[in-house]
Chain A
Amino acid sequence: MRSLWVERCAKVFFFLCAVGTVLISIGIVVSLLGETFRFFARVSVFDFLFGLTWAPHTLPSGEEVGFGAIPLFTGTLLITSIAMAIALPCGTLIAVYLSEYARPSLRQVFKPLLETLAGIPTLVYGFFAITTLAPFFQSLGDTLYITLSSESALIAGLVMGIMILPYMSSLCEDALHRLPHSLREGSVGLGATASETILRVLLPAAFPSLIAAFLLSLSRAIGETMIVVMAAGLAANLTFNPLEAVTTVTVQIVNLLTGDQEFDNTKTLAAFGLGFVLFILTFFLNILALYGIKRHRRIYG
């Protein structure tokens, strides 16, 4: 009878572990939501989401001004778009090459390499951006008579694209490799060349998974912090010019929270408001991506 009792206790312990993990998620939502509500008690939702100037400070009269987050959203959008413009074509092509063209031995070397590279701390990329890429681009800009900010969105986006690349290609490669072999055989048997098979059969078949890979990479790029903290600017510019410095949501969260500040400070609360926006955005991207992967598994499981 003792063993039955142990069985039950173990089961309860495992259940509590699972609940604990879910509690983290609830904890994130509740804590972010709570602080965000306190923030919105001081700054109106409309001013925050649609305001055009980001320069948070408190006027002597006690009025809170400069909490318009639009420049941060456009900055994040600009840097992320540059990164995805590099990672999307390059990542897909690398995945196609490794999965369909490369010899199995080459694939066996590159697949773990990609996974290792995807785990490199992003700090390293940020450091490379400020010490090497920024001076290089500035001298390049000088010779071409283009004024280029040393914290320009172009540099941050470029480095972020390189950072995303191993992750993106690893995910895409998984998607292509998981496709059943009969698809390839059928297509080649009908006389299609390898590239026609890839473009007209394999890529459409893997489309939900590829979209999922894209969305997961996008959500990683949006939430990426260290590269932009090091390589992007602090001043909020409302611009789509990649040669100018822009700031992002994550940079401002770090900026608002580093240094000793009171918890009741509106700036601190603003960081949680931004964090909440970030959470909602990445949450939807992740859910969509996971749905895509699930659908793909259901078809080709």
Chain B
Amino acid sequence: MTSNLRKRHRQEKWFQRMGLFSLCLALLFLGIIFGKILITGLPAFFKTEIEAKSAPQHLLNPYAQYVDQGKWTAASDAVDMYYKNGYPGTLSPQDSQSIEALKSQNKIRLSFNGAFFTHSDSSAPEMAGIWGALLGSLLTLLITFLTAFPIGIGAAIYLEEFAPKNSHIYWIEATINNLAAVPSILFGLLGLLAFIHFIGLPRPSALVGGLTLGLMSLPVIVVTTRASLSAVPFALKEAALGLGATPLQVLFHHVIPSALPGITTGVILSLARALGETAPLLMIGMVAFIATPPSSFLDPATVLPVQIFNWSRSPEMGFVENTSGAILVLLLILGLLNGLALFIRKKFETHHGF
């Protein structure tokens, strides 16, 4: 009897440890991933500069002479790599010696790489930046928001508040729920056929990208909005109806204000998902090399994740750093959006205790 009990307690302890172990293992893996990206990405925000007069010409960046006129001039890509990582690359031994000499004279330094945020894509890693991609992402998301938000909210309101409970509505619900879990790449295929082949919109534009991502976000917005609408207690609606409010008044004066925190959270999270999406945009041809930031919705544009994908395929060492740097920026934006959603949920959480 006692030995049996001891065995059961031992099993209990092992089971609990296994749970803790797998949690730690998962956290460890995710920690390694983000740590690694942080370590490779942070140098992208800094660039190596040399006192122009004291250095041989070929160590300076060939493009920088047109930009930097001051005392310090950006170093070439190879010098940059050597100074940051000690990776000699194409540098000759004499070059590395002269860099070491510069280092001992304090004539080489790291400074903040503003160009990474203000430049657009370039074939030279040290000149490439994320400005064009950020702008493209912003324009794309704007279109996504403008299309998915009103239609999504409207559909959710209809299904939750006005729809009769019959088998047609059941099928509509099932379809939308299913659509929210369809792989994103298929929305890309639909976007390619519908917007480019059928309507004939210009190919890698923010408009097509935004519409495609809108298709993808729409069902997600419907599902989350419905969840927060259905959490509004029935008593609230009945009270308003009993006082003579029309269904529309009940909706806009009571139900929506009460469900607003949940709806906002859902919309922010689905936009965050659209911001990080790459696959459907590859389908509609947003992979092209685009060096000028878009100035309208119809201009050729690229977005941050696609920019990251393009850089990640470049063989040059400098782009590895840029890729990680851009990933850090993307993760930061996503983190902020998620934090905002969480904050709204916590701050305005309404407890319908009746």
Say whether B16 faces chain A, with CB atoms less than 8 Å apart.
Answer: yes
Binds B, one of A2-10, A64-72, A141-149: A2-10
Docked pose: A22 CA to B170 CA in angstroms:
12
Say whether A61 faces chain B, with CB atoms less than 8 Å apart.
Answer: no
User: B152, A162: Cβ atoms under 8 Å?
Assistant: no
Say whether A46 faces chain B, with CB atoms less than 8 Å apart.
Answer: no
Which 6 A-B residue pairings sit nearest by Cβ, starting from the closest? Answer: A223-B183, A17-B154, A97-B19, A121-B276, A14-B158, A195-B15
Q: How far is the CB of B249 from chain A (nearest CB, A)?
A: 9
User: B12, A195: Cβ atoms under 8 Å?
Assistant: yes
Contact (A28, B219) CB under 8 Å given A123-B278, A131-B320: no
Q: Report 11 cross-chain contacts, Cβ distance below 8 Å, ordered by A residue.
A: A7-B247, A24-B218, A31-B193, A90-B26, A119-B269, A123-B309, A193-B11, A196-B8, A219-B181, A225-B183, A254-B185
User: B9, A193: Cβ atoms under 8 Å?
Assistant: yes
Q: 1/0 per residue B239-276: CB within 8 Å of A?
A: 00000001110000000000000000000010011001
Closest residue on chain A to residue B177 by CB atoms: A290
Say whether A194 faces chain B, with CB atoms less than 8 Å apart.
Answer: yes
User: B178, A286: Cβ atoms under 8 Å?
Assistant: yes
Say whether A120 faces chain B, with CB atoms less than 8 Å apart.
Answer: yes
User: B178, A18: Cβ atoms under 8 Å?
Assistant: no
Residues of B within 8 A of A229 (CB): 279, 282
Q: Is the interface of B mostly helix, strand, loop or mixed?
A: helix
B: number of interface residues (CB 8 Å)? 85
Binds B, one of A179-187, A236-244, A274-282: A274-282
Say whether B290 faces chain A, with CB atoms less than 8 Å apart.
Answer: no
Contacting residue for B285 out of A7, A198, A258, A286, CB 8 A: A258
Contact (A18, B155) CB under 8 Å given A121-B334, A123-B309, A127-B323: yes
Contact (A275, B37) CB under 8 Å given A121-B334, A286-B182: no
Residues of B within 8 A of A165 (CB): 26
Docked pose: A279 CA to B184 CA in angstroms:
10
Q: How large is the interface on A (under 10, 10 to 19, 20 to 34, 35 or more residues)?
A: 35 or more
Say whether B33 faces chain A, with CB atoms less than 8 Å apart.
Answer: yes
Closest residue on chain B to residue A21 by CB atoms: B155
Residues of B within 8 A of A117 (CB): 30
User: A94, B26: Cβ atoms under 8 Å?
Assistant: yes
Docked pose: A16 CA to B20 CA in angstroms:
49
Say whether B103 faces chain A, with CB atoms less than 8 Å apart.
Answer: no
User: B184, A24: Cβ atoms under 8 Å?
Assistant: no
Say whether B330 faces chain A, with CB atoms less than 8 Å apart.
Answer: yes
Docked pose: A287 CA to B171 CA in angstroms:
11
Q: How far is the CB of A131 from chain B (nearest CB, A)?
A: 6
Contacting residue for B163 out of A18, A110, A127, A287, CB 8 A: A18
Say whether B99 faces chain A, with CB atoms less than 8 Å apart.
Answer: no
